[in-house]
Amino acid sequence: MTAQTHEGRVAVVTGAAGGFGQAFCVGLAERGADIVAVDIDDSSETVALVEKLGRRAMAFGADLADPSSVSDLGERVRAEFGRCDILVNNAGIYPNRPFDEMDYEFWRRIQAVNLDSQFLMTKAVVGLMKQNGWGRIVNITSNSITLAVHGVTHYLASKMGVIGFTRGLATDLAGFGITVNAVGPTLTPSRAWDVRGLPAALVEATVQKQAIKRPGEVSDVVGIIAFLSSDDAAFITGQTIMADGGLARL
């Protein structure tokens, strides 16, 4: 195997202002990649962390559910970097709401941010991958698709859609030297369980069902993203990896 290096690569990461997205930006930069940090919120902290590592970084504010905003991002990446080698479709939202309380507008917003954005982002940058005959796309789904949790019908639908999108896209892009895979992290303590409406008792009950008896951490996922984005993963495509301590043994 080769050393996992991303020297000379440009990585575009969505949901990059904090949490998983910020960690993915830093992890890829540590391995040599320049970073485009995309978020509707301010990503200046992420940019500063990447630049401390000696890598080039750019923040781009975008509503990823807005096709024109995403198209502008693609043009900016082309103008500023001239290439995109890695795309990590991480952005997502998780408002807990029972089905009876949902209206169609709410449903569509969840699908737009969690699933449609991955389509739009891929369309925006895949041409840059094709021109170099090399690309890595990693789509973030969720291990929650394997769980029985109330109030997340909208979220589960969007994250199952990510898996279908990943499988189909992997076939369509394989001839261009582009791989497409998905990663399903578990929620972690650092992602504010209480904000997401998940009580501590549920967290502990979930941990006890895992093969590895501890909560997940953001760092548990960074290495998977780095691997799938590397030359070492050239023969892996269309796959979904659940990074959840063995909770989902599919």
Supply the residues annotated as catalytic: 155
Say which residues have a Cβ less than 8 Å from residue 82's Cβ, sequence separation at least 6: 128
Distance CA 128, CA 130 (A): 5
User: Tokens 């389509």 correspond to what residue?
Assistant: 119
Q: Is the dihedral of CA 126, 40, 30, 79 positive or negative?
A: positive
**Whole-number CA gyration radius for the chain:** 17
8 Å CB contact between 88 and 13: yes
Token pair recorded at residue 157: 């639908």
Rounded to a whole number, what is the largest CA-CA distance in the chain?
52
